[in-house]
């Protein structure tokens, strides 16, 4: 049978009874040292996180440069330029890239201002992705670094003929832009 033993007084700094009949010493200094260590670790961790936040190499400083012309539309086909600028339809092949599918082509770039499209008179011209609209006396396009093709200029490229009606996500195309119902997807464009 167990006996209850009355306990009185404080156990701080004294031997305390523990299960099994032993005793342990509680020391305030060890408790304070442990708490201080935890605070120190928390401060170091917070400083480390703050330094990572301030020096993130992926975050570029704000630029004073104007944003590039917008590209929007479906997943493959885009219209480039503002409503009052030259409009371009661009494909998924990047500027200055290697030849895309198709065959060699030579034609004259014609810009229809009312429809806002480039055509060769039969097909809609679809420029490489990243091509930039040019403004000035004539509408134009820069389909490669340093290359400028204006309305009426002859150019050559590699081209793949595509059926507009069968191409998912293709932007609406006025009939005057593509009387044939087809587009020429251009790559590696050169001025003649």
Same domain, 49 and 79: no
**Interval 63-78: pLDDT, tens:** 566 555 555 555 567 8
Q: Is the dihedral of CA 36, 40, 45, 46 positive or negative?
A: positive
Q: What percent of the chain clears pLDDT 70, i.e. is strictly above it? A: 66
**169 and 90 in a common domain:** yes
Q: What is the pLDDT of residue 138?
A: 87
How many residues does the structure list for the chain? 192
In this structure, are 90 and 185 located in the same domain? yes
For residues 91 and 185, membership in a common domain is answered with: yes
Whether residues 105 and 167 share a domain: the answer is yes
Which tens digits make up the pLDDT trace of 162-172?
999 988 888 88
Whether residue 8 lies inside any domain: the answer is no
Mean pLDDT over residues 33-60, rounded? 62
Would you say residue 22 has pLDDT above 70?
A: no
Residues 98 and 177 in one domain: yes
pLDDT at 10 over 70: no
Q: What is the pLDDT of residue 84?
A: 77
Domain count, the chain: 2
Complete DSSP assignment for the chain: --------S--TTSEEE-GGG-EEE--HHHHHHHHHHHHHHHHHHHHHHHHHHHT-TTSPPPP-SPPPPPEEESSS-EEES-TTS--EEEEEEETTPPP-SSEEEEEE-EEETTTTEEE-SSSEEEEEET-EEE-SSS-EEEEETTEEEETT-EEEEEEEEEEGGGSTTPPP--GGG-TTSEEEEEEEEEE-
């Amino acid at each position: 049978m167990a006996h209850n033993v009355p306990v009185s007084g404080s156990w701080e700094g004294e031997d305390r009874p523990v299960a099994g009949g032993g005793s342990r010493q509680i020391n305030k200094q060890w408790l304070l040292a442990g708490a201080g260590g935890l605070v120190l670790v928390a401060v170091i961790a917070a400083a480390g996180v703050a330094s990572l936040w301030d020096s993130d190499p992926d975050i570029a400083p704000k630029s004073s440069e104007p944003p590039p012309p917008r590209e929007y539309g479906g997943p493959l086909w885009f219209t480039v330029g503002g409503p009052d600028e030259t409009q371009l339809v661009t494909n998924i092949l990047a500027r200055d890239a290697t030849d895309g599918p198709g065959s060699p082509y030579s034609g004259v770039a014609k810009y229809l201002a009312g429809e806002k499209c480039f055509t060769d008179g039969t097909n809609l011209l679809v420029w490489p992705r990243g091509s930039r609209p040019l403004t000035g006396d004539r509408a134009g396009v820069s389909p490669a670094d340093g290359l400028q093709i204006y309305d009426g200029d002859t150019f050559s490229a590699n081209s793949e003929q595509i059926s507009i009606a069968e191409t998912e996500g293709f932007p609406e195309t006025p009939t005057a832009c593509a009387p044939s119902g087809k587009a020429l997807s251009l790559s590696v464009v050169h001025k003649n």
